[in-house]
Amino acid sequence: MLAYIWAEDRNHHIGIAGHLPWSLPADLAYFKKMTSNHPIAMGRKTFESLPGILPHRHHFILTRSESFAQKYKKNEQISIVHSVEELRKKMNEESGLVFIIGGASLFAQFASDVDYLYVTQIDAQFAADVTMPPLKMEDFELLSQEEGIVDKKNRYPHTFKVYRRKD
């Protein structure tokens, strides 16, 4: 089964200059909790925005770069794929939930296939150069919603929501 996980502001912004437009440690903790022990799929630029290889998760990385593929070819925690079709095949071989974590082009490519949506909605607006591609939300039902705690480290109101595709 396929899931998306992302955070967005009021305008569906998800990134700027290869990074998140905000600092929200609660969202990073949520991401870790939800994706640990599940494979994660992403584009090369999303991988390069991470602090490194994330523990307890197999990484599927879509790239056209042969030098990037060579760099990680012996890493057992990483599978490099060179096409959306190859990525789809690899994800379909997994028995449990696979999370697509970005970027926007991957979210757009798999929009008709995704089963679950894990979204952190941030009640603020940020400058950004990447927006979440539109999803047909009428095709999904809300399973859970939890308000995040606003404090000194998590300054923006935020809500964690999980949706499932309707049958």
Using DSSP, state whether 98 is helix, strand or coil: strand
Nearby residues of 33 by Cβ (< 8 Å), 6 or more positions away: none
Q: Which residues 6+ apart lie within 8 Å of 67 measured at CB?
A: none
The pLDDT value recorded for residue 81 is 96
- The structural domains of the chain, with segments of one domain joined by +, span 2-165
Q: What is the CATH number of domain 2-165?
A: 3.40.430.10
Structure tokens at 67: 């030098």
For residue range 100-150, what is the model confidence (pLDDT) as tens digits? 999 999 999 999 999 999 999 999 999 999 999 999 999 999 999 999 999
User: What mean pLDDT comes out for the span 149-166?
Assistant: 98
Reported as type and span, the H/E element at residue 40 is strand 40-43
- pLDDT for 77 equals 96
pLDDT over 90 at 16, yes or no: yes
The per-residue pLDDT for 167 is 87
Kindly list the distances between the CA atom of residue 114 and the CA atoms of 64, 125, 126, 137, in Å, as whole numbers in the listed order.
Answer: 23, 26, 27, 12
Q: Convert the pLDDT of each residue in 44-88 to its tens digit.
A: 999 999 999 999 999 999 999 999 999 998 999 999 999 999 999
